[in-house]
Structure 1
């Protein structure tokens, strides 16, 4: 069985595929809670994919490349410092944000994911 750090590293590495949809389908559960603090909250696979779909429609985000800056584990919890780079379908960059996240695992599945980011930076991305 892979370690929690290995699971989250693989999840983040594959998140750039199809806007993160395959990663969500693979590692989320029907009860997974995904919180972008101050921005959004989803429960389960369908809501998470719905949010991804909405971001693609409203902001043109086709993919997110996650650059891992730091990662640490405390049991089944994995803490990350990341640089998330948002791109359009043509590969041009929309913007990037640095953030902290925490993932909670049960076995090899993510049951909670919370990101903490400067909401002002995200608002600037949304404004174009």
Structure 2
């Protein structure tokens, strides 16, 4: 699973921030790793003219095999808290979406005849 971190001009992107985002994302959704090809993370500050915390926004978009992309948003005064909240939201959204996808695939698979059940019917 590839994780890409993007920031606007109001957020200083540095290796520590990238590592924190990747750690939160992997910790939140690693169990879905076989289903996800990539995650795009966009960080911004809505109070751009102030260049200070207060309107931090996180958008995460997970690309899921066989399903439409899953997108979530979170806003918080604290950027790290917003990243953590977004990771939790993404995990819940993926849990729901992948569950629906698995249910759909399970119902789409034709039932296989069980030869033992036919024998049981003819023996009666």
Please state which band the TM-score falls in when normalised by the shorter chain: 0.3 to 0.5
Query: What TM-score do you get using the length of structure 1 for normalisation?
Result: 0.38
Q: Which has the higher contact order (CA 8 A, sep 6+)?
A: 1
Rg comparison, structure with higher value: 2
Query: What TM-score do you get using the length of structure 2 for normalisation?
Result: 0.39
Hey, which of these two has a bigger chunk of helix by percent?
2
